[in-house]
Amino acid sequence: GAVVSQHPSRVICKSGTSVKIECRSLDFQATTMFWYRQFPKQSLMLMATSNEGSKATYEQGVEKDKFLINHASLTLSTLTVTSAHPEDSSFYICSASRGGGQPQHFGDGTRLSIL
Amino acid sequence: SQQGEEDPQALSIQEGENATMNCSYKTSINNLQWYRQNSGRGLVHLILIRSNEREKHSGRLRVTLDTSKKSSSLLITASRAADTASYFCATDGGYGNNRLAFGKGNQVVVIP
Q: Does B30 touch chain A (CB under 8 A)?
A: yes
pLDDT at B37 over 90: yes
Residues linked to residue B101 through DSSP beta bridges, in sequence order: B91
Q: pLDDT by residue (tens digit) across B62-91? A: 999 999 999 999 999 999 999 999 999 999
CB within 8 Å: B40 and A111: yes
Question: Which residue does chain A place closest to B98, by CA atoms?
Answer: A101
Q: What is the mean pLDDT of the segment spanning B36-48?
A: 93
β-pairing, A110-114 vs A10-13, is: parallel
- What count of CB pairs under 8 Å joins A to B? 61
Tell whether the model's pLDDT for residue B38 goes beyond 80. Answer: yes
- Least confidently predicted of A11-20, A78-87, A97-106: A97-106
Select the residue from B43, B52, B99 to test the A interface by mutation, using most A Cβ atoms within 10 A: B43
Cβ–Cβ under 8 Å, residues B77 and B21:
no
Q: Evaluate whether B93 touches B30 at the Cβ level (below 8 Å).
A: yes
Distance (Å) from the alpha carbon of A16 to chain B's nearest alpha carbon: 25
Exposed e or buried b per residue across A22-32, where buried means at least 16 C-beta atoms within 10 angstroms of its C-beta? bbbbeebebbb
What's the pLDDT tens digit per position in A28-86?
898 899 999 998 888 899 999 998 878 899 999 999 999 999 988 889 999 999 999 99
Distance CA A80, CA A67 (A): 6
Instruction: Answer for the pair A86, A94: CB distance below 8 angstroms, yes or no.
Output: no
> Is residue B12 scored above 70 in pLDDT?
yes
CA pair distance A35, A92, nearest whole angstrom: 7
pLDDT, greater one: A2 or A43: A43
Cα of A101 to nearest chain B Cα, Å: 6
Return left, alpha or beta for A88; rule: phi > 0 is left, psi -120 to 50 is alpha, else beta: alpha
- Looking at the predicted structure, is the pLDDT value of residue B8 above 90? no
Please tell me whether the peptide bond between B8 and the residue prior to it is cis, using omega within 30 degrees of 0: no
B54 has pLDDT over 80? yes
Cβ of B92 and A49 within 8 Å?
no
User: Is A97:A31 a contact under the CB 8 Å cutoff?
Assistant: yes
Q: Are A92 and A108 in contact (CB under 8 A)?
A: no
Q: What is the mean pLDDT of residues A89-107?
A: 90
Highest-confidence segment of A73-77, B1-5, B94-98: A73-77
What was the pLDDT predicted at B97?
67
| Test the B interface: residue of A39, A44, A49, A62 with most B CBs within 10 Å | A44
A107: Cα within 13 Å, side-chain hemisphere = 31
